[in-house]
Structure 1
Amino acid sequence: MAPSEPIHARPTAESSSGIGNSFRSQLESFSVGSPIAEAAIQRDLEEGGDDAYPSSDDDDESSSGSSTVHPSEYSMRDAYRRPSYVNPGFRSAVIASQSVPEHSYLTKRERQQIREEERSLLRDNLLLPPKHPRRESESGLPARLGKRLSIAGLRKVRSAADEESAIERDDEPSEHSALLGADPTKPYGGEDTPENINKKWVEAVAAGKIQTTWQRESKTLARYSAPLIVTFLLQYSLTVASIFTVGHIGKVELGAVSLASMTANITGYAVYQGLATSLDTLCAQAYGSGHKKLVGLQLQRMIYFLWVITIPIGVIWLSGTAILSAIVPEKETARLAGIYLKILLAGAPGYAAFESGKRFLQAQGLFTANLYVLLICAPLNALMNYLFVWVFDWGFIGAPIAVAVTENLLPLCLFLYVRFIDGMECWGGFEKRALRNWGPMIKLALPGLVMVLAEFLAFEILTLSASWIGTTALAAQSVLSTVTAITFQIPFPMSIAASTRIANLIGATLSDAAKTHSRVALCGAVLIGIFNVTLLSTLRKYIAVLFTNDPDVVEVVASLLPLCAAFQLFDALATTCNGILRGLGRQEVGGYVSIFAYYCIAMPISFGTGFGLGWGLYGLWAGPAIALGIVAAIEGTFIYRTSWQRAVDEAHKRNTMG
C-alpha cells in the first residue's frame, strides 16, 4: 500500500476543533482514486441515461438527524480499510493486496461499524460512560467481588481500560468530568450520538488520550479473524473434497487430481482471480461516487470479459492430456488429469461469474455474502463428491463432475442473495454498454493477474516437479500440499484481519495502539504455529490415511510431515508479518522479500537437493521450509525497526492528498 516522509507535528487538543475537513468531499473525491477508473466511469456516464446520476445514500449521521457533521482527519472513518483479498489457492507466495485509493469511500454499514469502534475505545478510556449504568445493588464490595469471581466474570476479558473498570470506580467526582453530565437511565449515558462521539474522538486523539490494551486487541483480532477463517476453510474445502474422495481409489488417481488441480489453478482460476481484481477499483469508485448502477455495469463487463478469456483457457484444458503427457513422465497420470480438466471446463464460466460477483458485493461492503453462499455450497460439494464417486460408482470422473456442478451453484446462490437479501440497489439490469469500453478494465486487470500468478506458481511448481520422482511421490505431494494449505487457512485470514485493524489505527494516528495490535498479532501467529506444529507432528501417522489407502504413499507422507510441521511456525509468522506490512502501507517490502526468498532461494534449493543430491520429495520441501524462515526473519526485523509514528505521518499525508 510508500516511502517515508518527515514527521509532522501533531495538533493540540485546543486546535483540534478547527482541523475538520468535509467528510463527504474527502471520501468521494476522485483525486485519490485510479485515473484509469475515473476516465472509464466518466465515459460510462456520458454514454448512460437516467442512471448516470448519483444515487442518494444517506449516511448514518443524516439518518440520526444531523447533516452537518465534519469528522476530523484523525477519524477512523477516513482511515478505514476493508479486508480485500484473493483466494490463496493451494499455497500463496506473494499476497496481493489492494491500494489505499480503493478505500476512499465507505458504505453505510462501514460508517456504522467505525462509529461503534470509536465509541468502544472512548468508553474503554473512560471518556464515555459505560453502556449499562451501575445499579445500586452492585455498589457494595461483596457484590463487586461476586461479579468478578463469577463464571461469567472469569470468562470475560478484562483490563484496566475495560468497561468493567468504569463500573467499579467510586461515585466520587474525578478528573473524568465528562461523565458527570450523563443520563444514567440511558445506554452510554445518552452521550453516544454521532456528533458527540466525533467531537470526543477528535479531542481525545489530538490530546493522546486514546489507549488500548493487549486484551482488547486480542478480542478484536479474534472477532475479525473468525469469519474470515471459516470462509477460507470452506472455500478451500471445494478442492479438498475431491482429493479426499479420489485418493481412496488409488495413488495414480490421487496424483492425477493433484496435477489437474495445479494445472487448473495456474492456467484458469488464477487468471480469473487476477483479472477480477480490477473490479476492486472500478466497482469501488463507481459506488463511492454515488453512481450505484455503474457497479452492476462493471460486473456485467467483467463477466463477459472472463467468459471470452475462457475460450483460450478451454483450449488448454481440452488439450490437457497432450500437454501434460509431454511434461509428465507418468502417462496414465497425465491421461486422467486431462480427463479431469475436460470435465472441469463445464464449471469455468460459473467460477468466473462467482469471482466477479464477489467483487460486486464487496464494493457495497457486503462481505458476509460469500460466507453464506459457501455454508450452503461447500457441504453440497462434499456430499456430491461422495455420491458421484462411490454411491453412483462413477469413479474418478465423479469428482470433477461434482466440482463443476458446485462452481455453477456458487454464482446462482450469490444471485439469490442479491435478489432476495441485499445488494440489488446496484443492479440496473442488462445493458449493451457492457460490451464496450473494456480497455480501462483490462489495463487495471493485468497487474493483478501478474501478482496472483506469482502467488500460485511458487508452490504449485513443486507438484509438477514431484511427478518426475514417481507416482508415489506425486501422490504424497498431493497430500502434503493439501495438508499445509489447510493449516495455512488459519494464519492467512488472521493476517488480513490484522492488516485491516492496524491500517485503521494508523490512519486515526493511534501509533501506540497499532503497535500493540501488531504485537498481539505476532503472538497469535506463534500460538497458531505451535498448534499446527503439534497437530501435524502428533497425527503424522494418521493424516495420510484420511487421503489414501496406499501403504507406500502413507509411509512417505508420514516421514515428510515432521518437515512440514517444522516450518509451520515460520509460515504463520511470515504470513502475519506480511499482514502487518500491508497495514503499515509497506507491502512492497513483503512482496520483494517473498519473491527473493521463494524464487531465488527456495526453488534452487528444492531442485538442487531434490534432484541434484537425490533427496527426492524431502529435498523439494526443504527449499520452502528455509524460505519461510528467511521471510519471517527479514520481515520481522523490518517491523521491529519500523517507526510507527512515521507510518502515521505517511497515512496522514495520503489521507489529506485528496
Structure 2
Amino acid sequence: MPTPPRAIEASGRNIRQTFARSLPNASSLAEESLARDLQEASDDEGLETETDEDSDTETLRPSATAPSHGFAVSYRRPSFTGAGNRSIFYSRGNPDKLTKQERQRALEEETSLLRDNRLIPPKHPERDTRSKFLGIPRRTSAPTETSALLPRGATDPSRPYGGAADDPAKISKTWNEAIEAGQIQTTWQREAKVLARYALPLMVTFILQYSLTVASIFTVGHIGTAELGAVSLASMTANITGYAIYQGLATSLDTLCAQAYGSGRKKLVGLQMQRMTYFLWLLTIPIGIIWLLADRILQLIVPEKEVAHLAGLYLKIVLAGAPGYATFEAGKRYVQAQGLFSASLYVLLFCAPFNAFMNWLFVWHLNLGFAGAPLAVAITDNLLPIGLFLYVRFFSKSGMSCWNGFTRKAFSNWGPMIKLALPGVVMVEAEMIAFEVLTFAASLFGTTTLAAQSVLATLTSITYQIPFPLSIAGSTRVANLIGATLPEAARVSTRVTFVAATVVGILNVTLLSVLRDKIPWLFTSDSDVIDIVSKILPLCAAFQLFDALAASCNGILRGLGRQEFGGYVQLFCYYVIAMPISFGTAFGLKWGIWGLWSGVAIALGIVAAIEFTYLYGFLDWNRSVEEAKLRNLQD
C-alpha cells in the first residue's frame, strides 16, 4: 500500500525539524547577555533616566490585543528598521518610546504595507477608465455576496480616500489586526526597493573602506615587483591575524546592540559598544606581538627574504592604527543599530580620498618609499573613529541618545558576547585563511607569480565588496520579517536577494572577462605579471557567480540565526575540498597558479549549492518565527 501524501509530508517535516534542532542556537547567548545587563541596569539610575535628547519621544499605547498580565508582548516593524531586529514592546509600567522621527518612519512604512495588501484605500483613487488605445474596460474582480461595498477605512468622507488612510490611531489598529490575522504580505517590487535602499550605501561604504588597502597596492606596485608582493603579503597577513578578528568579533554587536535598542534601554547600546571596544583593544596586544615579529615568522615561510622583510616592515608601521581600526568596527555597529547607515559612509567619503592623497604624498613626494604606504593607512585608521564620533556628536539628532558616558560595567559580562561572536569569526576567517594559504603557496613559484597572485587576490576582494553588502541587506530584511511573524514575506525577500545576487555575479563575470587585458595595468607595469594575471582572470571571473550566491546564502543564514551552519559548510569546503585540489593540481599536476585558483572555484560552487539546498529543502521557516516569539517573551 502506498504511503498517504499527508504521512509523507509529516515525515518530511519531522526530518527537517529534527535536522534544524540539531544546530546550535546563538540567540540564547544574546538573551543571557541582555538579561544580565537589564538586571544591572535596574539599579543604575544612569541607564534608567531619560536624557534631554530622549525627551522628544512619543510613548506607544498598547494595542488592543496586548494582554493585561505583566508579560511583555511585541510585534516587529519589518519596514521600519534598517539594522538588526528591533521590537516594539508593550509591557506594564515600562512602555517603549520612539523618537518622533522614528515613529513617523514606522507609520509611513506600515501605511505603505497596508495599502499594498489592500487593507486600507490606496494613496490615490484608482481610475476606472477604458484603455485609450483598445477601448477595453479595466478588468476588476467581480463582487460577491460577502464583499464590502466600500474598502476598509473608506467610511469618513471628510478625509481624503477614507479615514484609515491618514489617521495614525486607525493605522495602528488596522496594522495590529492585520498582523494577528496574518494578512500582511509583501511583493517583489517592495523587497527590491528595500534591498536597494539598504545595500547601495553599504556597497559604497565597503568599497571605500577596502580602498584604504588598495591605495597602498596601487602606489607601491609601481615601485617594483618585490614591493608589490610584499604589500600583498602584508595586507593578507594583517587581515588574517588582525582585521578579520576585529570584524568577526564585532558581529556580535549586530545582535546585542539591536536587542538593547529594541528593548527600550538605549543606554545599553553604548554599554555594549564600550565592552566590545575594550575587548578588541585587549586583543591588540597579542596581535601586536605577532605583527612585530612578522618579518622573522614570514622568513620561515616565504623563500624570498626581501619580500618577507618588507612585509614585516609594513606590519610594524600599520600596527599604530590597529586600535583605531578596532574602535571604528565597534562604532559602526553602534550607529547601525540606530539605523544610521550613512554615518560610516560620510566618514569614509572624506577619509578614503585623504588616504589616497597621503599614499601619493608619503611614497612619491616626500620620498619615504615603501614605508609611506603603511604610514598612510595607520593615520587613516585612527582618523576613522574620530570622524565617526564627530558625526554622531554634531551631525546626528539621535546618535548620542544611546550614549551614557563611560562606565565600569563595560568591564563585566564579556562571556556571552565572546561566545556569540565566535561563529562570526569562523565564517570570516575560513575564507581569508584559505586565500592566505594560496598567497604563501604562490610565493613558492617565485616573486613574479607572487606579484600576480597579489593582483588576483585584490581584484576578487574588490568584486566581493558588491555581493557582501547585498548579503548584509538581505540578512537584515529577512531577520526583520521573521521577527514580524511574516515567514512568507521572508521567503519572498530571500528570493529577491538571490535574484539580485545572480545579477551582481553575472555583472562581475562580465567585467573581469571583458577587461582582463586592461585591469592588470592598473596595478603594475611588469609585462610578465600582466601576462600571468590576464591568463588567470577568466578562471577568477568564472566563480564570481558562485561567490555572490554563497555570500547571499551566508547573509540569509545570519538573518535566521543559523550562521553556525554556514561556518561548518565553509570549513569543510575550503579545507577538505579546496586545499587538496589546489595543492594537488598546482604542484602535483604542475598547473602552477592556475591550479591554486581551481580549488577555490570548486569550493565556492559547493558552498553555494549546499547552503542553497539547506535554505530551500530543510529549513523550517515557521520554526524561525516561533523562536523569534519566544525570544521576545523571554526578553
With the shorter chain as reference, the TM-score category is 0.7 to 0.9
Q: Residues 189 and 639 of structure 1: is their aligned pair in 2 closer, same or farther, counting only changes over 3 Å?
A: same
Q: In 2, distance between residues paired with 1:216 and 1:443?
A: 36
Q: In 2, distance between residues paired with 1:507 and 1:290?
A: 16
Corresponding residue of 1:69? 63
1:34 lines up with 2:31 in the alignment: yes
1:332 lines up with 2:306 in the alignment: yes
Letter in 2 for 1:254: L
Corresponding residue of 1:630? 606
Corresponding residue of 2:6? none
Q: In 1, distance between residues paired with 2:52 and 2:627?
A: 27
Q: Could you tell me how far 1:198 is from its partner in structure 2?
A: 3.1
Corresponding residue of 2:169? 195
Corresponding residue of 1:604? 580
Q: Residues 325 and 107 of structure 1: is their aligned pair in 2 closer, same or farther, counting only changes over 3 Å?
A: farther
Q: Could you tell me how far 1:253 is from its partner in structure 2?
A: 0.8
1:367 lines up with 2:361 in the alignment: no
Q: In 2, distance between residues paired with 1:259 and 1:562?
A: 23
* Gap regions ≥5 residues in structure 2: 1-13, 19-26, 67-72, 90-95, 134-138, 142-146
Q: Residues 69 and 3 of structure 1: is their aligned pair in 2 closer, same or farther, counting only changes over 3 Å?
A: farther
Corresponding residue of 1:250? 224
Deviation per residue, 1:208-249 (Å, 9 max, x gap): 544433333322322222112111111111111111111111
Matches within 5 A, 1:62-461: 63=58, 67-69=61-63, 75-77=75-77, 83=83, 108=99, 112-132=104-124, 175-182=149-156, 186=160, 191-207=165-181, 209-280=183-254, 282-284=256-258, 286-422=260-396, 423-431=399-407, 434=410, 448-461=424-437
Q: Residues 504 and 3 of structure 1: is their aligned pair in 2 closer, same or farther, counting only changes over 3 Å?
A: farther
371-380 or 33-42: bigger deviation:
33-42
Q: In 1, distance between residues paired with 2:254 and 2:189?
A: 33
Q: Could you tell me how far 1:356 is from its partner in structure 2?
A: 2.2
* Gap regions ≥5 residues in structure 1: 7-29, 85-99, 146-159, 167-172
Q: Could you tell me how far 1:76 is from its partner in structure 2?
A: 3.5
Q: Conserved in 2, the CA contact under 8 Å of 1:107 and 1:365?
A: no
Letter in 1 for 2:31: S
Report how many aligned residue pairs link the two structures: 590
Secondary structure, in 3 states, of the residue corresponding to 1:428? Answer: coil
Q: In 2, distance between residues paired with 1:273 and 1:102?
A: 25
Q: In 2, distance between residues paired with 1:102 and 1:266?
A: 35
Secondary structure, in 3 states, of the residue corresponding to 1:402? Answer: helix
Deviation per residue, 1:518-544 (Å, 9 max, x gap): 222222222211111111000000011
Q: Conserved in 1, the CA contact under 8 Å of 2:426 and 2:567?
A: no
Q: Could you tell me how far 1:307 is from its partner in structure 2?
A: 2.7
Letter in 1 for 2:207: L
Secondary structure, in 3 states, of the residue corresponding to 2:525? Answer: coil
Q: Conserved in 2, the CA contact under 8 Å of 1:532 and 1:568?
A: yes
Q: Residues 547 and 522 of structure 1: is their aligned pair in 2 closer, same or farther, counting only changes over 3 Å?
A: same
Q: Residues 71 and 493 of structure 1: is their aligned pair in 2 closer, same or farther, counting only changes over 3 Å?
A: farther
Q: In 1, distance between residues paired with 2:450 and 2:413?
A: 45
Q: In 2, distance between residues paired with 1:472 and 1:405?
A: 30
Q: Residues 205 and 427 of structure 1: is their aligned pair in 2 closer, same or farther, counting only changes over 3 Å?
A: closer
Q: Could you tell me how far 1:406 is from its partner in structure 2?
A: 0.4
- Equivalent of residue 53 in structure 1, options 48, 54, 66: 48
Q: Conserved in 2, the CA contact under 8 Å of 1:287 and 1:363?
A: yes
Q: Could you tell me how far 1:554 is from its partner in structure 2?
A: 0.3
Q: In 2, distance between residues paired with 1:55 and 1:607?
A: 60
Q: In 2, distance between residues paired with 1:102 and 1:68?
A: 13
Q: Residues 275 and 124 of structure 1: is their aligned pair in 2 closer, same or farther, counting only changes over 3 Å?
A: closer
Q: Could you tell me how far 1:512 is from its partner in structure 2?
A: 3.5
Q: Could you tell me how far 1:77 is from its partner in structure 2?
A: 2.7
Q: Residues 570 and 286 of structure 1: is their aligned pair in 2 closer, same or farther, counting only changes over 3 Å?
A: closer
521-530 or 193-202: bigger deviation:
193-202
Q: In 2, distance between residues paired with 1:41 and 1:599?
A: 42
Q: In 1, distance between residues paired with 2:564 and 2:414?
A: 28
Matches within 5 A, 1:575-614: 575-614=551-590
Letter in 1 for 2:299: S
Q: Conserved in 2, the CA contact under 8 Å of 1:107 and 1:364?
A: no
Matches within 5 A, 1:498-517: 498-517=474-493
Q: Conserved in 2, the CA contact under 8 Å of 1:131 and 1:189?
A: no
Q: Residues 58 and 254 of structure 1: is their aligned pair in 2 closer, same or farther, counting only changes over 3 Å?
A: closer
Q: Could you tell me how far 1:461 is from its partner in structure 2?
A: 2.2
Q: Conserved in 2, the CA contact under 8 Å of 1:577 and 1:632?
A: yes
Q: Residues 494 and 602 of structure 1: is their aligned pair in 2 closer, same or farther, counting only changes over 3 Å?
A: same
How much is the aligned-residue C-alpha RMSD, in angstroms? 3.8
Secondary structure, in 3 states, of the residue corresponding to 1:130? Answer: coil
624-633 or 440-449: bigger deviation:
440-449
Q: Could you tell me how far 1:177 is from its partner in structure 2?
A: 2.4
Q: Percent identity?
A: 60
Q: Could you tell me how far 1:552 is from its partner in structure 2?
A: 0.7
Q: Conserved in 1, the CA contact under 8 Å of 2:260 and 2:269?
A: yes
Deviation per residue, 1:432-485 (Å, 9 max, x gap): 555566666556555554554334323232222211221111111111111111
Q: In 2, distance between residues paired with 1:106 and 1:492?
A: 33
Deviation per residue, 1:540-582 (Å, 9 max, x gap): 0001101111111100000000000111111112222223334
Deviation per residue, 1:416-445 (Å, 9 max, x gap): 112212322333334455556666655655
Q: Could you tell me how far 1:279 is from its partner in structure 2?
A: 4.0
Q: Could you tell me how far 1:323 is from its partner in structure 2?
A: 1.2
Q: In 1, distance between residues paired with 2:16 and 2:613?
A: 17
Q: Residues 224 and 189 of structure 1: is their aligned pair in 2 closer, same or farther, counting only changes over 3 Å?
A: farther
Q: In 1, distance between residues paired with 2:55 and 2:545?
A: 43
365-374 or 233-242: bigger deviation:
365-374
Letter in 2 for 1:611: F
Q: In 2, distance between residues paired with 1:235 and 1:643?
A: 34
518-527 or 540-549: bigger deviation:
518-527
Q: Could you tell me how far 1:56 is from its partner in structure 2?
A: 7.2
Letter in 2 for 1:124: D
Report the TM-score, using the length of structure 1 for normalisation: 0.79
Q: In 1, distance between residues paired with 2:628 and 2:258?
A: 21
Q: Could you tell me how far 1:369 is from its partner in structure 2?
A: 1.3
Q: In 2, distance between residues paired with 1:78 and 1:221?
A: 12
71-80 or 618-627: bigger deviation:
71-80
75-84 or 190-199: bigger deviation:
75-84
Q: Conserved in 2, the CA contact under 8 Å of 1:102 and 1:280?
A: no
Q: Residues 502 and 353 of structure 1: is their aligned pair in 2 closer, same or farther, counting only changes over 3 Å?
A: closer
Q: In 1, distance between residues paired with 2:88 and 2:285?
A: 34
Secondary structure, in 3 states, of the residue corresponding to 1:34? Answer: helix
Q: Could you tell me how far 1:336 is from its partner in structure 2?
A: 0.7
Q: Residues 187 and 491 of structure 1: is their aligned pair in 2 closer, same or farther, counting only changes over 3 Å?
A: farther
Q: In 2, distance between residues paired with 1:121 and 1:203?
A: 13
Q: Conserved in 2, the CA contact under 8 Å of 1:38 and 1:285?
A: no
